[in-house]
Each structure stands twice: as C-alpha cells, then as structure tokens.
Structure 1
Amino acid sequence: MIIQPRVRGFICLTSHPEGTAQHIKNQIDYVKSQGEISNGPKKVLVIGASTGFGLASRITAAYGSGAATIGVFFEKPAAPGKPGTAGWYNTAAFEKEAHAAGLYAKSINGDAFSDDIKQQTIDLIKADLGQVDLVIYSLASPRRTHPKTGVAHASVLKPIGQSFTNKTVDFHTGVISDISIQPVENEEDIENTIAVMGGEDWKFWIEELKEAGVLAEGVKTVAYSYIGPELTYPIYRNGTIGKAKDDLEDTVTVLNDMLQDLNGISYVSVNKALVTQSSSAIPVVPLYISFLYKVMKEKGIHEGTIEQMQRLFAEKLYNNNTPTLDEKGRIRVDDLEMRADVQAEVDALWQKATTENLEEISDIKGYRDDFFNLFGFNFDNINYDADTNEVVNIPSIKS
C-alpha cells in the first residue's frame, strides 16, 4: 500500500516501514562510528524498547558493545491494509539488522506493567541469556493497570496549585498562541499520575528479576527523567508529571539497597529535551525545543536520542568511568542543554517569538522533521508515493 502521514494533533496515525528502517540504520551507523564502548554491557534488558530513549539504549548496547538484547514494549502489529505502529516497525528493522550482524535480539510485545509479561521476560532470560547485566527502564504510557490491585490508573498533565498560562505552538502550522491550563483539582489525580509514571513498576521489575536469579553480579539499572528550564516548571517539573519523576528518582535509594548483595547499582539519568511521541503532547515544550535546537545547532552541541544514549554509555556508565552525580544523585546528560549561555539565548528568542517570525528565529523545521522521522517520514531517500509492504513481522515474535 501507499503510506502517507496522517496526523491528528500531536499524533501521527500512520508509520512507514521503509522510513523507520532508515531511521534505525542511521542510529546504528552513528553508534558504530563512535567506536567500541569498552567494558560495556553484554546482556541487556530494555523495558520500553521500541521508541525514543529506550530504543536508542538498545541500539547503543548492541552496536557499542556487542550486547545481546531483549526488548519489551507494547505496540500494534501490522496487518494487510493497516500499517503497524512506528515502534513495531522500529523493532522489526532493529532485529533484522542485529541478526544480520550476528547479534542476539529478541522481543516481547505486551503490557510491561503486567505480571504475565514480567514472567515471560524472566523465562526468556533464563532460557537464552541466563542473566542480564544491564536493565534499562524507559516506559512511557498514559495509563497503567496495577498488577496487584487491578485498579486502572490514568496520568494527567496539569500544574499544581495554580493555573499556568504561556506560549505554545502548533508545530504543524507554526501558529503561536497562548494556552492556559487549569490546576489539578484533587490529590487523586496526582496519585494516579505517580502510579503510572513513578518508580513503583521499576521497583517491581527489579524485585522480580532478582528473585528469579536473572540479575548478574554488578548489574546496573537505569531509568530516565527530565528537568528542563524554569519556563516549563509549572507544567512539567512542578506539576503532576514532576511529582511522578520525583517518585521515580526516589526509587534509586530503594533499588540500591535491594541490589547491594549483588554489588549492583541503580541510576536515574536526566536527559535532554528532544522530540519524542511523549514530549510532543506537552504544551509549551515543542516551542521551547524549536528554540533549543536552533541555539544548540548553531553552537555545534546539538544531540538527538542516539547521541545522548551513546554519550551516557560511553562517558558515564562504562569505559571504566564512574558517573559524576548531581546533588540529588542523578546522572546529568542534559548538561549541554542547561548551560547558562544556551538558556539565555533560548529565553531571548522566547520573549520575541511571534507567529510571523517563528520560521526565521527558530528551528521549527527541524522539530517537524524529527517528529515525522519518528514515524518513518521525511527521509529524502524514501519514495513515499510508491507502494510498500505494510505487513512487516518482528523475527523473534511468532504471530
């Protein structure tokens, strides 16, 4: 079928198998160009492995240190006349490339919050790898059914205490407008957001993996977070999502106690603002990123997800490095984003931004390209008017 992008707001409803394969190849080529990560992980579990930082982590582990990888995610398979999700196609392309390179790569598709998927993962590790020496936790979901209580929790994106008004942009049209978001109305909404996006499920995963004996001596586990600039604090870091991120970061202490007898360690890595399916949904953030991209590209310090993860592995976690932590015990690979000179220039652009001057003073085009790249579109070497086979299978998943 011929697959073109169909967009509804911040969601692209279609994805292109050839384009996503190109996106995967570009990331693989980057990691390979950076050379081997010495003393890197060899057997890796990535929870939330099909898009964004989780996918980039899987690619970095595989092609940076030759790691065998198991990926867990929840994606929609392709069917005749119906394209699969981008994450499905991403994983199919990754596994195809990995297998051709002689690398072990298998995947599990299902609700990673559930006990059943945790057990399937444990069974696969036992059967094929024995143990894993790195566990990446990179789940992004708007809802979670609690595996112990059966209660369905839904997250909300709201400020706490007072309403928030600031600029935002429709990144498809380039129209800047003001947006006002009312504060969360009850404590239950905050608790639900923490239940979905906090650290409890990460803790459940590590508990069950350890109990099953599939965590190696010296195991590392890493989850991802974000802080961002002050202008996004009301909607992000000081809002409901921020409460969930606080909970995620506080889980490090619990996990370090749990892993002590294995000489294991857990980290939260604070990453840079980037175009992801999740960040596109947050008001204000797309406009901020369009200015951030312009400033960082002009300074020659821009990074995408794969550059961020390669740097995290090569400069922080491995190569005989012990990561420097901030005052709250977090790894910071948002250090270039948060440089004072970068933030000052972004703030100056923010103050003078209008619909009329946006194309000139921002990198809104780069934002759009990155957004559509997530779904396999806007690659110059792909003919999007040509027929493509939408039914692409993931080699390790039996349909």
Structure 2
Amino acid sequence: MHRPLTPSERVVAPTGRGYLLLESHPAGCLRDVELMRAEIPVPEGPPARRPTALVIGSSAGYGLASTVTGLVRYGIDGVGVALERPAGHRSATAGWYRTVATDTLARALGSDFSFLNADAFADTTKAETLDLLAERFGGVDVLIYSVAAPRRTDPRSGTTYRSVLKPLGAPHTTRNLEFAEDGSASLREVTVGPADEAETAATVRVMGGEDWSRWIDALAERGLLRDGFRTVALSYIGSPLNAAIYRAGTIGAAKTHLESTADALTVRLAPVGGRAFTSVNGAAITQALTAVPGIPLYVSLLRGVLGDRFPSPVEQTLQLWKQLTAPRPDVDEAGRIRLDRWELAGPVQAAVAERWRALSPGTLTELADIPWFRTRFRALYGFDVPGVDYAAPVETDLPWPTAGVRPYR
C-alpha cells in the first residue's frame, strides 16, 4: 500500500526556456553533492588544525566546490553565505537543495559549518555573519569570495546597480549555442551592442571588488582576522575567442577592478601577515558563464578538444585550496593564482580556434561535445544526474539548515 503524498511531494520535471530552468530537482541536487564528494581524495588522518573559513557564495559553482572540497579535504569549520529561494509554487532553487546536502556532509564529517541564507551585499548580513564567527570561532583563517550577481543594492547609499554583459567601444557579433525543447542544438549569430559609461560603472560596482573589500574591512574592525589570514576572489580570463564579450568587455572591467582590489587588500592585511589573491579559474559550466553570449559554444568546443581531460570544478578547487594553504603560493607575474593554464595552453587554444573557424550547422555535433554540455547544464538544476529516479515523486519543501537560518527575502 502506497503512502499518500504530501502537498509538496511531486514528480519534478525540467521546464523553462534557453539557459534558464524554472524547476530544480531536490534528489538530483543532493546526489550531485555526493558525486562531488566522491571526487575528493580523503586525507589519511584528521587535520592537525581545523581552519575557519568564510565562503561568500557557497551554494553554486566554484563557491560550492570550494566549500565541499574544504570540508572533505581540509576539515574546515566556518560559515557559508548564499541567497536562495525556498520551495513555493515551484521547487526551491538548486542552490537551496545543494546547501541542504552540503550541511548534511558537514555534519557527517564533524565540521561546525553553518549556512546563512542572506544577501551578501547587505551590511546586516555582514553583521550577522561576523557575530556567528565571533561567537563560535573567534577568528577567520580564509575568506573565499565567489559572487556572481545580476544586481547589487549598496546598503549605504540605497542605490541599486545592475550588471550587463556587453563589449566596450563597439558592437560584437558572435555565435551562440541554442537548444530546442527536444534537446537538439543549433547555432545562432548574436550581436551585442556596446555598453555606455554608466553601464560599465554599474557592472564594476556589482562584480568588482568593492563588496569583497567591505567584508575584509568588517572582519578587521571586529578583530576577526587571524595571523596569516588569506582571502581569494574568484575570477576568469577566458579565450581570445570570447575576449570581446568577456575580458575586454564590461565583466572584464569588473575583473580588473577585482584584481586591483586584491593588491590594495594585501597592503591592508600586512598587520596580520595576510594576503589577498584573485584566482583565475578555468572554464566550467555554471549559471553565470552560460549567460555570456558565445561561452556555451566555446566550452562545448573546449570539451570536444579535451574530452575527459577537461577538469571539473572540484578538481580545480583542490588546486585552489592547495595554493591557499601553501607557504608560498604559485602565482603569476600579477600575483594571481592561475587554475586556467590547462585551458589557455597554446595547443589547446589553437585546436579550439580551428574548430571555431570550421563550425557550421553541419559540423556542430562533430566539433563540439553537445551531449556533455547539455547534461552538465541540466545538472546545474539537478537533472540528468546519475543514480536518480526522475519518475518518482520527491519532497520539494526541504528546510534550510537550522544553524544560522534566516528567511528568504
């Protein structure tokens, strides 16, 4: 005899358009975190000391991978901050469910790690987070800043800034990868007009280093920076093939500001022997990067060149943590941690460029790894994850982890 379903228990199917799905699958998101854990080599013994980490943007992308890797490999305690939507007439966001899974992982590993569901840009969030850190740990060893947001409201001025993904100076035409409802892929040419000065400045205010700097200032004012404190903000350079819309565009202006902020923070961290870095990560399928015109196609071609040699976010964040905990991190001439050398290697970029030039509707599926990209994109929302029964009803109303809970706003 089957038990009756709860009002929030149902079969969840992917619905949406383009690169935005409106539903997330709880079981798929939970399973995805389990698979991430399985990628991480378990240390031979307990850590000699459990570092205290603060991860801003802990629920998705490289921020999630950094949190999971830190928990499994380095035994971190601390706090993760993310802004996610709970279940309502639709399922919760994927980041909500992945946070539930990451909290379960932390408990299983014996880590004291809490999650706040709050706007990282708000001063009230900073105060609440620092209160939690002060009460439980008395200080912080590492801060990882991994925030990709479409807008930011400055709590001190009340002004809301909106970021744009546009080139600078002139329009840019590129090709993008599009998917039909049946899963088939096609090429589409898109032209993006240039940003004006106000749009560029707003993008820098959202995606640059201003908020990262405020987090460090807040920690310093509370005396929470431990000796040898290190902080890193995650960045991306990308290929010359997408430079006009990315590194040479508005988002690139924000990344340049992020890097200059790291230099300024390193000077301010001198009293505690601290240091700030940017980490130039390699390409990955994230919700942020799929929004950039041309990037989905480029990543599919990159995977076509590399195959299984394409490193996952977990593989890359293993290297990030190695650098953050090394006495002398391996940095480039600009002081940046480089996790993208595999991507920007000359032979790899030459092979991707050759495929880009040879692209046509008839050669798309031959030159680009379309099935892999579609599977990994859907996995961002918990679909197409191995080991999940998608025909079975699933509970969608999972509670946020109780430690440090606050309602969605």
TM-score if structure 1 supplies the norm length? Answer: 0.95
CA deviation vs aligned residue, 1:100-129 (integer Å, no higher than 9, x gap): 221112111111101000000000001111
CA deviation vs aligned residue, 1:355-375 (integer Å, no higher than 9, x gap): 222222211111111111111
Mapped pair 1:305 → 2:316:
no
Root-mean-square deviation (CA, aligned residues, Å) is 1.7
Alignment of 1:1-399 (within 5 A): 1-33=10-42, 42-79=51-88, 81-171=89-179, 172-184=183-195, 186-297=196-307, 300-314=308-322, 316-318=323-325, 320-395=326-401, 396=403, 397=405
Alpha-carbon contact 1:155-1:192 (below 8 Å) kept = yes
Alpha-carbon contact 1:76-1:84 (below 8 Å) kept = yes
Taking the aligned partners of 2:263 and 2:109, their CA distance within structure 1 comes to: 38
Task: Find the counterpart in structure 1 of residue 3 from structure 2.
Answer: none
Alpha-carbon contact 1:41-1:61 (below 8 Å) kept = no
Name stretches of at least 5 consecutive residues in structure 1 with no aligned partner. Answer: none
CA deviation vs aligned residue, 1:78-110 (integer Å, no higher than 9, x gap): 24x531100000000110121122111211111
Taking the aligned partners of 1:96 and 1:156, their CA distance within structure 2 comes to: 36
Q: CA deviation at 1:173?
A: 3.3
What amino acid maps onto 1:133 in structure 2? D
CA gap of 1:267–1:173, structure 2 versus 1, over 3 A, is: same
Q: CA deviation at 1:205?
A: 0.4
What amino acid maps onto 1:59 in structure 2? V
Taking the aligned partners of 2:262 and 2:44, their CA distance within structure 1 comes to: 30
Taking the aligned partners of 1:268 and 1:38, their CA distance within structure 2 comes to: 26
Taking the aligned partners of 2:125 and 2:257, their CA distance within structure 1 comes to: 23
CA gap of 1:110–1:122, structure 2 versus 1, over 3 A, is: same
Taking the aligned partners of 1:122 and 1:251, their CA distance within structure 2 comes to: 21
Taking the aligned partners of 1:317 and 1:35, their CA distance within structure 2 comes to: 20
Alpha-carbon contact 1:62-1:69 (below 8 Å) kept = no
Question: Could you say what secondary structure the match of 2:143 adopts?
Answer: strand
Taking the aligned partners of 1:196 and 1:49, their CA distance within structure 2 comes to: 18
CA gap of 1:50–1:35, structure 2 versus 1, over 3 A, is: farther
Taking the aligned partners of 1:156 and 1:335, their CA distance within structure 2 comes to: 27
Q: CA deviation at 1:322?
A: 1.8
Name stretches of at least 5 consecutive residues in structure 2 with no aligned partner. Answer: 1-9
Over the matched positions of the two proteins, sequence identity in percent amounts to 38
Taking the aligned partners of 1:355 and 1:379, their CA distance within structure 2 comes to: 28
